[in-house]
Amino acid sequence: MNAPERILVRSPTWVGDAVMATPALRALRATHSEAEITVEGRPVLGELLAGLPSYDRFLDDPGSAARGLISRVRRLQRGRYDWAVLLPDSPRAALGPYLAGIPKRVGYARDVARRMLLTEALRHEPGAGPVPMTERYLRITRQLGCPDQGDALELAVAPTARERCAARLAALGVARGEDVVAVTPGASFGASKLWPPEYFAHTCDALATRLGLRTVVAPGPGEVAIAHRIANRMHASGVAWVDPGPRLDEVVALVERASLVLTNDTGPRHVAVALDRPAVVLMGPTDPRITDQHTERQRVLREDVECSPCQLKACPTDHRCMTRLTPERAVAAAEELLRTR
């Protein structure tokens, strides 16, 4: 089969998954350096992945409504893609390339509907447990004959985002060169991933006293109330980046600037890995095997309770997987990480 001239890569939906897909993009680029590689996904992911050399352009997903699907199909037809590399598992991700008639459509087939939309399907091994997402995406590019180019996560920090971040921190009273802990207290997945705000506040107070770190709370969309609760409960001088909150590329710049990242098991955790920043991660309902890579500069804290991992978006009981994770454990993990940097 001839080498593809135009390749479409459907990005994963979530920020963390998109970061964990960067080794697959790199493998694809190394093998098909002459091809035009287009990444398609949620508009915010264009901010996240901007500046990477592993693709040429980004297409915003026009949405899931009927009008969005029609627009997407027409756009993909105009792109005259030879391959569609479908990293997410959903039938919707594959439907547009199928209707657009892209000749080669490759991804995982979890059910009959998805299988019918693919020309080449990878199967989940029956009875096999979860594998890290980076490995999962690399299996797709290996299927396409693309050797791995390492499994390191990769992001580029836009100079404009770095400048906007510095200006906003200065406006919040954070001095240039001041050591900060970037706190990302939300989780798009659901409330089950959230560590209590009072635990964040207690931890940040201790980090200020014992390590001299100034807290910058960076909420995502819909998380401003959480940021205010943390800042209001702190005794030390911390700031909440709100009104407006940071854009995603500004969060990336903040993580790059930070001496430490304190986060739930969510996207900024993987941003920290990509930028080689130390991170303390509070994990509750999710299966640790899904992200069990690149742990050298992470300390992933979990409580071994009988109901975890449940993978539920909301806890039906008492949220013990998170409430039993004490601030003292987070502080100790931070101290250990920063001693070894």
- Count the neighbouring beta carbons within 10 Å of the beta carbon of residue 124: 13
Q: What is the pLDDT of residues 231-288, one digit of tens each?
A: 999 999 999 999 999 999 999 999 999 999 999 999 999 999 999 999 999 999 999 9
Tell me whether residue 24 is in a domain.
Answer: yes
Same domain (yes/no): 164, 125: no
Q: How many CB atoms lie within 10 A of CB 50?
A: 17
Query: How many residues make up the chain in this entry?
Result: 341
In terms of domains, do 91 and 233 share one?
A: no
Decide if 75 contacts 97 (C-beta within 8 A).
Answer: no
Structure-block tokens of residue 280:
């303390």
Which residues are paired to 86 by β-bridges? 10, 107
Q: What is the dihedral of CA 284, 325, 194, 93, to 10 degrees?
A: -20
| Distance from C-alpha of 108 to C-alpha of 86, rounded to nearest angstrom | 8
CATH of the domain at 303: 3.40.50.2000
Domain-embedded: residue 77:
yes
**Domain-ending residue, one of 143, 175, 193:** 143
Domain that holds residue 105: 6-143
Does 95 share its domain with 210? no
The structural domain count of the chain equals 2
Do both 60 and 22 map to the same domain?
yes
Percentages helix, strand, coil for the chain, rounded to the nearest 5?
Answer: 40, 15, 45
The SS3 assignment for 235 reads coil
Q: Are residues 195 and 314 in the same domain?
A: yes
Shared domain check, 77 and 202: no
Per residue in 133-190, pLDDT (tens digit) is: 999 999 999 999 999 999 999 999 999 999 999 999 999 999 999 999 999 999 888 8
- pTM (predicted TM-score): 0.95
Q: How far is CA 324 from the centre of its chain?
A: 25
Residues 212 and 334 reside in one and the same domain: yes
Q: Are 311 and 287 in contact (CB under 8 A)?
A: yes
Residues 164 and 135 in one domain: no
DSSP 8-state class, residue 236: S
Q: Is residue 307 part of a domain?
A: yes
Q: What is the pLDDT of residues 37-55, one digit of tens each?
A: 999 999 999 999 999 999 9
